[in-house]
Amino acid sequence: MLVTGGAKRIGATIARAFGAAGWHVVIHYGRSRAQAEALAASLPSAEIVSCDLDDWDEGPAMVEALAARLNDWRVLVNCAGVFDLDTAETLEPDIFTAAMRVNAATPARLGQTFLAHARTSVGRRLIHVTDQKLLNPNPDFFSYTMSKHALSATIPMLSMARRAEEDRVYGIAPGAILASHDQNEAEAEISHRMNLLGRRATPEDVAGAALFLAGGWLDSGQTLYVDSGQHLLAQERDVLFLARE
């Protein structure tokens, strides 16, 4: 399996979970080579690869190269992303361009290349990590939220277009899990419990969902929400700011 953004944060937790379950893990990194190397060294079977996800061609080329040498490549988890602040009042062009490329266009192209070239006899699993903001949007992180909606739209489309019936295309929509943007841990502890269960979702929850989806038990095109019910609430602002009000 390959996980993008696998050197740190949720991506690293996904890598550890698959490694512990007996998978060979390919850890993609952008600029975090030292963390990727340390993580790979800690897993039973792992390697690292790098590409710039903001480049139009590097990602698909990386996937094609992996597909050419991996004899049984079953899973791609698109976890890497950028999360920068702009708002519905002021869309920042640079933030928008980076978000749409890194969070939407590149994962879609990686998925297309994976489904076209990866070799396995049991079916490929393409898993996009999106966001609970799909069903619980607010005006903050405007470009980021647009990019996650765009990525989510590819899940049913790629599912409908897949050539092999045994392939699956899925989404995981996490809630607030790790301290983000300029949060400290004390603020995250408050804001990340603003959900129906009053419970912080964890990186391990997301990794467990990815492992479940890797089995292909659900019909293709489905998205799992891993957010302690946050997507069922109406929140007028990002919880980062609600906790400060």
Task: List the 223-226 sheet strands across, edge first.
Answer: 46-50, 25-29, 2-3, 75-78, 125-129, 168-174, 223-226
CB count in 10 Å sphere of residue 222: 15
Classify residue 217 as exposed, middle or buried by CB count within 10 Å of its CB (0-12, 13-18, 19+).
Answer: exposed
63-77 tens-digit pLDDT: 999 999 999 999 999
d(CA 187, CA 244): 8
Q: State the residue range of the domain holding 109.
A: 2-242
206-226 tens-digit pLDDT: 999 999 999 999 999 999 999
Q: Domain count of the chain?
A: 1
pLDDT number for residue 183: 80
Q: Model confidence at 121, in pLDDT bands (50, 70, 90)?
A: very high
Using the predicted structure, report yes or no on whether residue 181 has a pLDDT greater than 90. Answer: no
CATH assignment at residue 139: 3.40.50.720
